[in-house]
Amino acid sequence: MNLTPYLIRGLATGGQFALVAIGYTMVYGILKLINFAHGDLFMLSGIMMIYLAASFPTMPMWVTILIMIALTVFVGFAIEKCAYSPLRTAPRMSVMISAIGVSYLLENTATYVTGGQPMTYPTIGILNKTIDIVGTSTKLVVIITPILVLVLIVLLTQLINHTKIGMAMRAVSKDFETARLMGIKINNVISMTFVIGSALAVVGSILYFTTYPAITPTAGAMPGLKAFVAAVFGGIGSIPGAVIGAFLIGICETIIKGLPSAWNVSVFSDAFTFALLIIILTCKPTGLFGEKATDKV
């Protein structure tokens, strides 16, 4: 069994999960909130891309992509302002319930608009070109994905470590109240976090649905859940942890799906992801790179 094609596809799948996982981990790092609507935002960007491409067929694809990115980022920003910002001082359970409500709202709205029927993602030029890798035919998006993900992670790291807004994000994630007392505009920092997370989810959506072009209103549920698992696996709140966790999950899942059909184990590819999470959390409850939190008295 030649593992090279499976490793390449696993890196691509893991990269797509990583872009979504970063959104989970950034929001949690600042608000200690699991944004359950993040996977549905991932799905919504794919559906918006379909409608934009169908409504404006003569528009250059790069313009369509830019409009779709802007719309998705706006939705992510609006979700934070409408569903989370008013609950800033509410108990954490209230915010979590709000996040679940937003998730179902997005899914049901998409179902109402589309009728719940599967739709096909539009073809994006170069990403859909087919090339041969070690004798196996594969889409160019599979090769581009890990490279693009690493570039985006480097840029995000530079933003967090070497810019004013990045410094503010780090301060807020360390101590919310102290950062507020020091004059940091908390709401601006939180909004920027949602904007960045939404933008990365859009890129992940483009790469994922180019690889798996069938979209339904629930298409973001499993990728979103796996991205969340990757974030927890790596240590939620840790960006490197989320990325490494996503790559490990993507590679393991792809290899399991590629095992001989006679073994009949491919049906357990999703279950393996969650079993691996249970094992890791049993041995290291904070995840691979998570830091143990100390409760203040």
How sure is the predictor about 296, in pLDDT bands with cuts at 50, 70 and 90?
very low
- HSE-CB of 209 using CA atoms within 13 angstroms: 27
Neighbours of 245 (CB within 10 A): 32
**Mean pLDDT of the chain, nearest integer:** 87
What are the angstrom distances between the C-alpha of 87 and each of 37, 55, 79, 80?
Answer: 16, 37, 12, 10
pLDDT in tens, 112-144: 999 988 999 998 888 888 887 766 778 888 889
**For residue 48, pLDDT beyond 80:** yes
CA distance 41 to 220: 8
Neighbours of 79 (CB within 10 A): 24
Q: What is the pLDDT of residue 293?
A: 54
Indicate the helix (H) or strand (E) that contains 94: helix 92-114
- HSE-CB of 100 using CA atoms within 13 angstroms: 6
pLDDT in tens, 17-43: 999 999 899 888 888 888 889 999 999
pLDDT in tens, 248-284: 999 888 888 877 776 777 777 778 888 888 888 888 8
